[in-house]
Amino acid sequence: LWQLTKNFAFPHWPWFAAGLVFLAITNLITLQIPQLAKEIVNQLAEAGAMEGMAQIALAIIGLGTLQMFIRALSRIFIFWPGRKLEAEVKEHLFTKVLRLPVSFFLQHGMGDLISRISNDVNHLRVFYAFGFLQFANIAFLTAFIITQMLSVHVALTILCLLPLVAMFLITRMIVPKMHAASKENQVAVGALTNRVTESFVNIHVIQTNSIEDTFLQRCKTENDKVYESHMKLVFIRTYLFPLMTCLAGMSQLAILFYGGYQVIQGHLTVGDILAFNIYIGLLTFPLTAVGIILAIVQRAKTAIDRVKDIDIATEEQVSPRAKALPHDVKGDVAIAIRGLTYRFPQSIAEADADTSTPVIQIPLLDIPKGEKLGIVGPIGSGKSTLLHLITRLYDPPEGTIFVGGHDVMGMPPQELRQQVGYALQSVHLFSESIAGNLNFGITALTPDKLQSVVSNAALTSDVEGFTKGLSTEIGERGLRLSGGQKQRLAIARLLARSHPIVLLDDVLSAVDQKTEQQLIANLFQKDQTALVVSHRESALQACDRVILLERGAIADEGTYPDLLKRHPHLENLDQTTTALSQAN
């Protein structure tokens, strides 16, 4: 809480300070109204005297009008920095999330992260704006009113404030239960958001498999948890708020009985009793607002715990102990691997997976600049994992993978990925136009460059077939495109960036043979170094060299025809992969 306040709330202290000043003025005005009402009653009690009555009434109206404007200013000055804080915290968390490693996202669902950045930060905004306002309002009102009441009658004031002690004791017992219920509710909201987001992202899968009822039931289960946890909070509040009101009513009873007795004894006037009643009425809302503030504080406390999980997560780091380039690596080598043994850490592996068995074991591999290296092997042999390690989606051991003469663990991830372009096996497109996807994250391409990239990705005829051409919106995750069009658009996006090294992870599985040959010709005529994971014969035959991975190790290497002679089963891998692609 202190770090959050120091980093995001304290920079806006002039706004909070101005709000406090106007709030104090508002409460001082509030205190004057009971005194004027007291004067009216005392004058009426003294033989019905009416002198100055009109002036007092006008003063009350004037003070009420002035109070309205000053109270509005106090809210503006306090609520505005609350909104600003909300925006800054959300921007900070989103920036942090973009720099977190893949392992973090394997542990947290997308909907849960959205809930933390959206709902939980909203709770923090309410705490710093509305909660701060109400806390300050209670502090001012209580201090000013108690001072005013003590100046009238000490014993009656103490008697009226005794319910506050009972309120303190009750809240001490209730707060832990509120915190537990609040945390349970916010976790349930995150789970529900995750489930709903998952349903929307995969809506085409749900509809094509006619499993709407299954997902409705799953969402209903999560929704019921949200309802039940929220009702626990409602149950606590339902008893807490009326109890606060009841305590305030007990204070008014004390005024009527003990204060009335003091009037009979001549120690107080009727006007004093009226003023006391108004003061207790003014304290009624702060007393009942204590319950509201407690709820706000508990939600904020839970929100901080959930937001902190993001804030303290370790970003992708540059290792200060990165190894120097081995002496046996020549200057014309684009990628060098030395003694690479990699096991999935527990943060990445499945809960019951064996993390003691290496998934990659490559003692020595050099890939010269400009070489087209094919990678083939059965499912689960470590092909995609190797590419993940080269791009640091998974962090390899230090001193095992070198790109451009540098240990990848000693390179800033962004700098590494500017040199190494990676087209993943699963295509990820943005809900943008075709041109927007090609320009995403880089300086806008010229029309000639766009046309060249589209042509090299064998997309020209497809783009011309759309009414709006490159301006065609492709929908969520490219929903309006076929599988082959998605793959080619992803390839075009990679080509637009002109990386010295490109990694292609089975990106030709959904294209026909004619288009595949055109793509291979366009991709391989460049001077780029390329690592091509594929089972397609035409793609592997176009490679300068092919390595066969089995259980994470290089079982053999050579040209594809030579490998096929020594390992005839590779042809079956090609046929199996083609069948799976057609089925998908």
Q: What is the pLDDT of residue 17?
A: 92
Question: Pick from 168, 177, 179: which is nearest to 287 by CA?
Answer: 168
Q: What is the pLDDT of residue 15?
A: 92
* Structure tokens given for 325: 């380039």
Q: Which residues of the chain have pLDDT under 70?
A: 45-51, 164, 168, 172, 204, 284-289, 291, 347, 349-355, 443-444, 525, 573-584
Q: CA-based angle 457:523:571, to the nearest 5? A: 100
What is the distance between the alpha carbons of residues 483 and 420, in angstroms, rounded to a whole number? 24
Question: How does pLDDT run across 409-449, given as a tens digit for each residue?
Answer: 998 888 888 889 888 877 888 888 888 888 877 766 788 88
Q: What is the pLDDT of residue 150?
A: 82
Question: How does pLDDT run across 47-103, given as a tens digit for each residue?
Answer: 555 667 778 888 888 888 888 999 899 999 999 999 999 999 999 999 888 888 887
Specify the pairing of strand 333-342 against strand 401-403.
antiparallel
What is the distance between the alpha carbons of residues 504 and 374, in angstroms, rounded to a whole number? 9
What are the Cα distances from residue 403, in Å, to 135, 372, 416, 461? Answer: 57, 15, 8, 37
Residues 6+ apart with CB under 8 A from 348: 102, 103, 106, 394
Q: How far is residue 476 CA from its own chain's centroid?
A: 20
Which pTM was predicted? 0.71
What is the distance between the alpha carbons of residues 134 and 140, in angstroms, rounded to a whole number? 10
Q: What is the pLDDT of residue 573?
A: 65
* Structure tokens given for 103: 């392992």
